């Protein structure tokens, strides 16, 4: 069973690496919510924040989406929990753990929407979104 856990953790790391490699090859990806409605979602800027972390630019990562730190911490905690197996609490299987992480990300998004939207980058209106173009006629 311990081999299976390690295989799942390494498989997950490989899947994330493959997704990042695909982003490098294909170029920039725009959030469907931002492209359609013109408002940033809770995950907007997360990829750019991840790239900023890889460049060790912690300030830029925080500016783009501070939730990247929540996601990173949750990933580390879940990974350690998976590797520890029966020795510790199995957070990687606990739906409440993931719900708490999602709620924290939504709270960060709401705070940013109330304090930064629509004037402060990166929480700006997409003037080229489908909804904005339809409303303008």
Given this model, what pLDDT does residue 23 score?
63
How many independent structural domains does the chain possess?
Answer: 1
Q: State the pLDDT at residue 47.
A: 87
For 71, list phi and psi in degrees, rounded to 5: -65, -40
Q: How far is CA 69 from the centre of its chain?
A: 9
The domain in which residue 71 lies consists of 2-136
How far apart CA 30 and CA 80 sit, in angstroms, is: 32
Taking alpha carbons only, the member of 33, 36, 32, 34 closest to residue 133 is 36
Among the listed residues 23, 31, 28, 29, the one whose alpha carbon sits nearest the alpha carbon of residue 130: 31
Q: What is the pLDDT of residue 1?
A: 57
pLDDT digit string (tens) for 47-63? Answer: 899 999 999 999 999 99
**Which tens digits make up the pLDDT trace of 93-111?**
788 989 999 999 999 999 9
Is the pLDDT confidence value at 83 over 90?
no
């Amino acid at each position: 069973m311990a081999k299976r856990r390690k295989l799942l953790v390494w498989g997950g790391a490989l899947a994330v690496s493959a997704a990042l490699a695909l982003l490098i090859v294909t170029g920039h990806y725009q959030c469907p919510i931002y492209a359609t409605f013109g408002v940033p979602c809770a995950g907007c800027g997360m990829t750019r924040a991840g790239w900023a972390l890889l460049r060790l630019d912690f300030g830029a990562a925080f500016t783009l989406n501070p939730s990247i730190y929540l996601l990173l911490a949750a990933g580390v905690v879940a990974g350690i929990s998976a590797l520890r197996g029966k020795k510790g609490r199995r957070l990687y299987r606990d739906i409440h753990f993931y719900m708490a992480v999602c709620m924290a990300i939504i709270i960060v998004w709401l705070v940013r929407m109330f304090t930064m939207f629509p004037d402060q980058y990166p929480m700006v209106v997409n003037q080229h979104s489908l909804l904005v173009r339809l409303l303008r006629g």
